[in-house]
């Protein structure tokens, strides 16, 4: 298999959530990554949206790098179909390796694990530890209350607007994905056919 054109680290729920659009969108993300010759980097689980995005990438012929802590191999059902599955010792090792392997980050709907991963890469970016684009898929307004809260944080001067500008939020995965890859400065030509 040839080298991927780009690597996107996707953070998302280990649960599927309660709307069919969550699963549909996770599939679309995996298909888009594969279609454009990219590679998915993710937490290596088989459950929920995590499993859906990995399955969709693999089914469309894309590469998948899974990174999972040993203690979670059974709990999250490590995905044995990954192109590369890295079993690491700690959650910190997992996040470090995922961050190293990614050109950009994208958070889909998820729970506190997803939030933690999203906020970590955002705080690292504000401190200049990396310069990789960060996307937030606000599917069906899932993240609207959080974005509203964050705008309140700016209004109350616990952060500046420039920090909000470090993340890209969009309701449409097919707009967000190319924007993230382009912001990462990768010279790739997207295929014109859909997905």
Footprint of ligand AMP on this chain (CB under 6 A)?
Answer: 13-15, 43, 45, 50, 72, 76, 91, 95, 110-114, 116-117
In 49-186, beta strands by DSSP E: 63-69, 84-88, 104-107, 134-137, 167-170
Helices (H) and strands (E) in the chain, counts: 7, 7
Tokens representing 113 are 């694990």
| Closer of 91 and 164 to ligand AMP (Cβ) | 91
| Closer of 103 and 117 to ligand AMP (Cβ) | 117
| Closer of 96 and 175 to ligand AMP (Cβ) | 96
CB of 5 to ligand AMP, least distance (A): 25
CB of 120 to ligand AMP, least distance (A): 7
CA angle 164, 45, 6 (to 5 degrees): 55
Q: Name residues whose C-beta falls within 8 Å of residue 24's C-beta, 6 or more positions apart in sequence.
A: none
Are 128 and 116 contacting, i.e. CB atoms less than 8 angstroms apart?
Answer: no
CB of 1 to ligand AMP, least distance (A): 25
| Closer of 62 and 110 to ligand AMP (Cβ) | 110
CB of 110 to ligand AMP, least distance (A): 3
């Amino acid at each position: 298999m040839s080298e991927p054109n780009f690597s996107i680290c996707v953070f998302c729920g280990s649960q599927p959530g309660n709307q069919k659009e969550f699963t549909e969108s996770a599939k679309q993300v995996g298909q888009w990554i594969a279609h454009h010759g990219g590679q998915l980097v993710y937490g290596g689980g088989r459950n929920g949206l995590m499993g859906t995005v990995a399955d969709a990438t693999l089914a469309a012929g894309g590469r998948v790098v899974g990174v999972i802590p040993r203690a979670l191999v059974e709990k999250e059902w490590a995905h044995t179909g990954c192109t590369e599955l890295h079993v690491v010792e700690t959650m910190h090792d997992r996040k470090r390796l995922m961050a190293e392997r990614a050109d950009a980050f994208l958070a889909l709907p998820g729970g506190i694990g997803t939030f933690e991963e999203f906020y970590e890469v955002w705080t690292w970016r504000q401190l200049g530890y990396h310069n990789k684009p960060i996307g937030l898929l606000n599917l069906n307004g899932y993240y609207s209350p959080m974005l509203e809260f964050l705008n309140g944080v700016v209004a109350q001067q616990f952060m500046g607007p420039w920090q909000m500008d470090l993340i890209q939020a969009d309701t449409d995965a097919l707009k967000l994905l190319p924007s993230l890859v382009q912001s990462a400065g990768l010279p790739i030509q997207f295929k014109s056919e859909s997905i």
